[in-house]
Amino acid sequence: MIKKILIGFVGFLILAFIVIYMTTRPTATDDGAYIPSPLSLKLATSSTTDFENTVYENPHTGNKKVLMVCTEERNMTMANGKKFSTGNHPVEMMLPILHLKNAGFDVDVVTPTGKPVKIEMWAMPGEDENIKKVYSEYKTKFENPGKLTDIVRTSLHDSTDYVAIFIPGGHGAMLGLPENKDLNKVIKWSHENDMFMMAICHGPAALLAASLDGDKDSFIYKGYDIASFPDAVDEQGPMIGYTPGAMPWIYGKRLNDLGVTIINEAADNTVHIDRKLITGASPQAANGFGILAATKLLEAVSK
């Protein structure tokens, strides 16, 4: 009897090990990269969002709008050489856009060279009708965005249309943007003209572009507090197969070294504003981030 129990227990352990192994392995894509494992998708994504269809009193009726800077790169090469299929997170892009639209602000979409926006479609909340609707509305803009190079060439000198710059998250915000010289100019232009800067989740990694031509003492956001995706949570990615390997570099530490303090320890719904910098910690923060951004932009244009 005991022998049968032991055999059954061992069989259960083997089965449990197989299930855990299979559900925590990243899933290969057709181009040889990997998307998150079934377990991590279950833990980290949702088919719906907590979008509050907020009605803003006295929405903006003028020409002020928001410039959203997105990544055009798909695959992140991890420390072990494997590629993570990433891009911008759909909830962190589109839920704030919904709030901005409700507040009367249009959103222009650009990538560094005008190549299509890369989106983490594996994180798309497929049962959320609001997200599906705004994605359909902006799909053409995502496929044919403007060029950040054109913004630098024309808008930095004569445009008064923009009230804010918006950098959505997703690990893709770490690809190309932190070392982009055009983004360096746009960030400094927005700061000098007292515009809002908005960045959520991994989006603050792109703010490192502001440090490209100066030392840490001259970094625009030195002394700022932000909400952002914690490095410690990124370190756990390989454990559940969210990423196929350890991160190639640690963006939070680089921001810390430049004098920025990340106030949240978890990938939660924390949102924060420090002067004209609006930040959020994760997809869970997207609704609160959108409300905060829309509210502050309306206050600014009403003055």
Instruction: List the structure tokens of 74.
Output: 């798909």
Q: Which of 107, 172, 164 is nearest to 140 (CA)?
A: 107
- pLDDT score for 156: 78
- pLDDT score for 18: 42
pLDDT digits (tens, 9 = 90+) for 88-134: 999 999 999 999 999 999 999 999 999 999 999 999 999 999 999 99
**DSSP-based helix, strand, coil % in the chain, nearest 5:** 45, 15, 40
Number of domains the chain contains? 1
- pLDDT score for 16: 38
pTM (2 d.p.):
0.92
- pLDDT score for 11: 46
Instruction: List the structure tokens of 102.
Output: 């409700």
Distance CA 163, CA 157 (A): 15
Which residues of the chain fall short of a pLDDT of 70? Answer: 1-23, 158-159
DSSP 153: I
Instruction: List the structure tokens of 194.
Output: 């007292």
Distance CA 41, CA 29 (A): 15
156 exposure class (CB count in 10 Å sphere: 0-12, 13-18, 19+): middle
Cα distances (angstroms) measured from residue 263 to each of 32, 33, 109, 154, 279: 36, 33, 29, 36, 11
Residue 209 sits in which domain range?
Answer: 2-302
Catalytic positions, written as ranges: 201
Q: Which of 95, 108, 105 is nearest to 68 (CA)?
A: 108
Check which CATH number belongs to the domain holding 36 and give it. Answer: 3.40.50.880
